[in-house]
Amino acid sequence: MAVTKGHGNPDWTRDEVILALDLYHTCNGQIPGSTDDRVRELSCVLRAFPHHSQAARQESFRNPDGVAFKLQNLRSVHTGAGLKNTSKTDREVWVELGHDRVRTRELADLIRHCLKIVDELPEIDDEEEFAEGKSATKVHIRRERSPRLRKEVIAKRLKQGGLTCDLCDSDGSKYDPAIRESMFECHHVIPLSIIGETKTKVKDMALLCANCHRLLHRAIAHKKQWFSIYEAKKQFFS
């Protein structure tokens, strides 16, 4: 029998299932075996996921047999036959993307891109994951946490008249001036799915209090849609 799961291998994440679904879409119902080049390529990509470095020491982790088995799982979700092998993530990704090849490809490209441009990414809570997937969410967070960029944004705002949150208008004037600045964080206003590889720019950064930033991220993750500052203000802060 094919070695697919292997002892202690972690469950497939949403990002991984999206990559598998992207391959599944191209197969048009003909599930390739573990010797297929596309299956082997995907196995290599999955084994190189930064957060799987520990698990990838096991030969059985996301090996070609495991990838081929996942494609069969997705067919089960698709056709409804043999559903007992499928995971909750498989079913959720199918509901979201099973009938949208274009969006699946967009997200798969984005995930592959994010894996290439970063080696170390911050850990994030599942509740914070944007619709673009966990890898893209982590890239968003890593970018806006850049201390250099934050310094530049704060300097620019001070020159323009002072620090206030773009969402709630709080200026933190009730706090001691010596520590006040620490309440502000930068938020990247352009969704990663649009900006691709371009460099992060000061003009694309909003200044938010830590509270509003957290709420905005939760709204984006929860509603599975991107909100501009203007939209967020209208929908959640009025």
Distance CA(212)–CA(117), nearest Å, equals: 28
Q: Which of 84, 205, 95 is nearest to 143 (CA)?
A: 205
| Residue 159 token pair | 């020159």
User: What DSSP string describes 76-106?
Assistant: HHHH-TTGGG--HHHHHHHHHHTT-HHHHHH
Nearer to Zn ion, 39 or 163 (CB): 163
* Phi, then psi, of 209 in degrees rounded to 5: -70, 155
Residue 45 lies near Zn ion (rule: CB under 5 A): no
Site map (CB under 5 A) of Zn ion, residues 66-85, x = contact: --------------------
Distance CA(134)–CA(141), nearest Å, equals: 11
The distance of closest approach from Cβ of residue 20 to Zn ion in the complex, given in angstroms and rounded to an integer, is: 28
Residue 167 lies near Zn ion (rule: CB under 5 A): yes
Residue 150 lies near Zn ion (rule: CB under 5 A): no
SS3 188: strand
Q: Which stretch binds Zn ion (CB under 5 A): 192-200, 201-209, 218-226, 230-238?
A: 201-209
Q: Are 101 and 25 a contacting pair, CB within 8 Å? A: yes
Q: Which of 232, 230, 229, 205 is nearest to 219 (CA)?
A: 232
Beta strand 184-188 with 205-209: parallel, antiparallel or unpaired? antiparallel
Distance CA(29)–CA(81), nearest Å, equals: 13
Among 31, 55, 168, 195, binds Zn ion (CB under 5 A): 168
Q: Which stretch binds Zn ion (CB under 5 A): 32-40, 140-148, 173-181, 197-205?
A: 140-148
| Residue 161 token pair | 């008249």
Residue 165 lies near Zn ion (rule: CB under 5 A): yes
Residue 111 lies near Zn ion (rule: CB under 5 A): no
Residue 195 lies near Zn ion (rule: CB under 5 A): no
Residue 207 lies near Zn ion (rule: CB under 5 A): no
Among 39, 74, 153, 209, binds Zn ion (CB under 5 A): 209
Nearer to Zn ion, 111 or 209 (CB): 209
Q: Which stretch binds Zn ion (CB under 5 A): 9-17, 41-49, 82-90, 183-191?
A: 183-191
The distance of closest approach from Cβ of residue 45 to Zn ion in the complex, given in angstroms and rounded to an integer, is: 27
Q: Which of 140, 133, 138, 126 is nearest to 19 (CA)?
A: 133
Residue 221 lies near Zn ion (rule: CB under 5 A): no
Q: Which stretch binds Zn ion (CB under 5 A): 62-70, 113-121, 191-199, 202-210?
A: 202-210
Residue 189 lies near Zn ion (rule: CB under 5 A): no
Interface residues with Zn ion (CB under 5 A)? Answer: 144, 165, 167-168, 170, 187, 209, 212
